[in-house]
Chain A
């Protein structure tokens, strides 16, 4: 299963005009976290909030819908959100924590839940884990390089960034610029090159733009917790959905990208193992399913 275990795949978007305006694609994460907060499914959410530097996010605990919306939109650089989970439990005293995580963060959280060696009373407080699709992540200095040096724009002027149609895009107040992704390759962090997960396979629900039309997101519900909150939000009219079969480019593209990432990175894993370098995954020759995340 190249997309991991999931219950249902749908194309969806938030019906809230404000979320539609500021969110990356369908605004699923913003809509679900706000909804879960309002419905007391979660007490607060660990999100990637705005940091001191423009476009350099910091993990934060959002306690209101406004704070969640302030953190909307994709940031293409590090925000070590898992770091903040303990603070959410300890300093904020949250009993039910929601969070949004890229695949590697999802892996850190799930490992902590299965083997909480030194992490006291945090594992059971993760009430909602929303995953977002991720091909790779960039150090902040890499982003500065694309934007300032390659595109000639001051990062402060950038209102939105996006990756799509084989390009890295930036939008300023009166302009939209792009560079081909082949110019950004080589600037991603190397830890991403052994990652076998594109679609946050271990999240309660995963979402991202790939597979759906502009302004919509592809949603994979995975666990009961993820399915439950999604259905409630749909029933409440906060999220509208379309069957995946009715939208273009469709699930096939998502499967292709997930497979490409796994195939490419499994090759890197094999090369590392051949060099005697440590890597926590198996060589392709040892695996039953070459696309499995182990």
Chain B
């Protein structure tokens, strides 16, 4: 998978002769190169696929007011997406952002997801519904419009996923950071999102099972801060889950400093 992403991002080993060019010449050359690459290298083609989600994720994307206009006009080409692009058939694309889980009784959704997998270089489970199932995990069918629609699963249950960005919705900042990392080919930053692809059975009880029971909890309160539905409280220094409020988005565990620890990135970001 890493190779596929690297290939997509053009990150294969750079030619050795680059090193031998004197600094001054290199500077000029690289400026020209940048312009040339900017002209020659097509902008990443991005599609937005909306399955069973509440549209909160795309709302969060649009909250990047500062970078949204240059992002949409200069940095990427949006080639597919409800309300964004007037197009019915799915084109070839470099990145598919998939919002929402997939309903196993909805033939069209299944078909669309599979077609996207075939036509996209990278499939991104964007938001917790796509990544972990989130609140759609609680569906049991019987609703009026489509009584038979009862099972909504993370998209990784059906197709191969390359990156997962959990959050209900993901924060505008993580979206901006991810887009910038993709455009820069910053694989180190994306690594945790690749690792999160396997995390499809999220639940607030992860903290109990994977952190408290494993003697890792330190009462910092990061999980309770991260919880987007206020399902978590801290009682005697330990997270206490109100299951009625938990939507299985996985943010509490994702954000916990004892689930995974990106020290190198933090050092880079803080300069420490």
Judged by a CB distance under 8 angstroms, whether A77 is at the interface is: yes
Say how far A78's CB is from chain B's closest CB, in angstroms: 3
Q: Which residues of A contact B237 (CB under 8 A)?
A: 77-78, 80, 139-140, 189
**With the chains together, A189 CA to B212 CA distance in Å?**
11
Judged by a CB distance under 8 angstroms, whether B192 is at the interface is: yes
Judged by a CB distance under 8 angstroms, whether B10 is at the interface is: no
Contact with A along B242-272 (1 / 0, CB 8 A): 0000000101001111111111111001111
Nearest A-chain residue to B173, judged by Cβ: A116
**With the chains together, A108 CA to B224 CA distance in Å?**
11
CB–CB A118/B221 < 8 A: no
CB–CB A83/B171 < 8 A: no
CB–CB B171/A294 < 8 A: no
Judged by a CB distance under 8 angstroms, whether B154 is at the interface is: no
Partner of B228, one of A118, A139, A192, A281: A118
CB–CB B192/A115 < 8 A: yes
Q: Which residues of B contact A120 (CB under 8 A)?
A: 60, 171-173
Nearest A-chain residue to B230, judged by Cβ: A86
Most buried by A among B214, B257, B260: B257
Interface-lining segment among B44-52, B137-145, B161-169 = B161-169
Partner of A108, one of B172, B192, B257: B257
Say how far B187's CB is from chain A's closest CB, in angstroms: 15
Tell me what chain B mostly uses at the interface: helix, strand, loop, or mixed. Answer: loop
Known contacts A78-B237, A278-B210; is A5 also within 8 Å of B173 by CB?
no
Known contacts A280-B258, A280-B261; is A202 also within 8 Å of B171 by CB?
no
Say how far B38's CB is from chain A's closest CB, in angstroms: 28
Say how far B190's CB is from chain A's closest CB, in angstroms: 11
Judged by a CB distance under 8 angstroms, whether A190 is at the interface is: yes
CB–CB A139/B255 < 8 A: no
Partner of A80, one of B224, B256, B271: B224
Partner of A112, one of B210, B222, B263: B222
Judged by a CB distance under 8 angstroms, whether B13 is at the interface is: no
Judged by a CB distance under 8 angstroms, whether B216 is at the interface is: yes
CB–CB A191/B215 < 8 A: yes
**With the chains together, A75 CA to B216 CA distance in Å?**
21
Q: Which residues of A contact B216 (CB under 8 A)?
A: 191, 194, 278-280
CB–CB A117/B265 < 8 A: no
**With the chains together, A172 CA to B222 CA distance in Å?**
34
CB–CB B219/A117 < 8 A: no
**With the chains together, A195 CA to B221 CA distance in Å?**
16
Say how far A200's CB is from chain B's closest CB, in angstroms: 11
Judged by a CB distance under 8 angstroms, whether A109 is at the interface is: yes
Judged by a CB distance under 8 angstroms, whether B183 is at the interface is: no
**With the chains together, A65 CA to B257 CA distance in Å?**
31
Judged by a CB distance under 8 angstroms, whether A242 is at the interface is: no
Interface-lining segment among A31-39, A121-129, A147-155 = A121-129
Q: Which residues of A contact B220 (CB under 8 A)?
A: 80-82, 104-105, 107-108
**With the chains together, A189 CA to B165 CA distance in Å?**
32
CB–CB A114/B269 < 8 A: yes
Partner of A104, one of B165, B192, B218, B225: B218
CB–CB A116/B266 < 8 A: no
**With the chains together, A281 CA to B220 CA distance in Å?**
17
Judged by a CB distance under 8 angstroms, whether A256 is at the interface is: no
CB–CB B210/A281 < 8 A: no
Judged by a CB distance under 8 angstroms, whether A293 is at the interface is: yes
CB–CB A119/B255 < 8 A: yes
Judged by a CB distance under 8 angstroms, whether B76 is at the interface is: no
Say how far B103's CB is from chain A's closest CB, in angstroms: 24
Most buried by B among A59, A81, A107: A107
Q: Which residues of A contact B225 (CB under 8 A)?
A: 82-86, 108, 112, 119, 122
CB–CB B257/A280 < 8 A: yes
Judged by a CB distance under 8 angstroms, whether A292 is at the interface is: yes
Contact residues, B187-215 vs A (CB, 8 A):
192, 210, 214-215
CB–CB B265/A114 < 8 A: yes
Contact residues, A267-294 vs B (CB, 8 A):
277-281, 292-294
CB–CB B221/A81 < 8 A: yes
Q: Which residues of B contact A85 (CB under 8 A)?
A: 225
Say how far A121's CB is from chain B's closest CB, in angstroms: 7
Judged by a CB distance under 8 angstroms, whether B11 is at the interface is: no
CB–CB A139/B166 < 8 A: no
Judged by a CB distance under 8 angstroms, whether B79 is at the interface is: no
Q: Which residues of A contact B170 (CB under 8 A)?
A: 117-118
CB–CB A110/B168 < 8 A: no
7 contacts between A and B (CB under 8 A): A4-B272, A80-B234, A118-B166, A121-B173, A141-B236, A189-B237, A192-B218
Binding site for B on A (CB under 8 A): 4-5, 59, 77-86, 104-105, 107-124, 137, 139-141, 189-195, 201-202, 222-223, 277-281, 292-294
4 A-B pairs with least C-beta separation: A80-B221, A78-B237, A83-B221, A108-B222
Binding site for A on B (CB under 8 A): 60, 165-168, 170-174, 177, 192, 210, 214-222, 224-226, 228, 234, 236-237, 249, 251, 254-266, 269-272
With A114-B269, A280-B257 already in contact, 4 other A-B pairs whose C-beta atoms are closer than 8 Å:
A83-B224, A104-B219, A117-B254, A201-B272
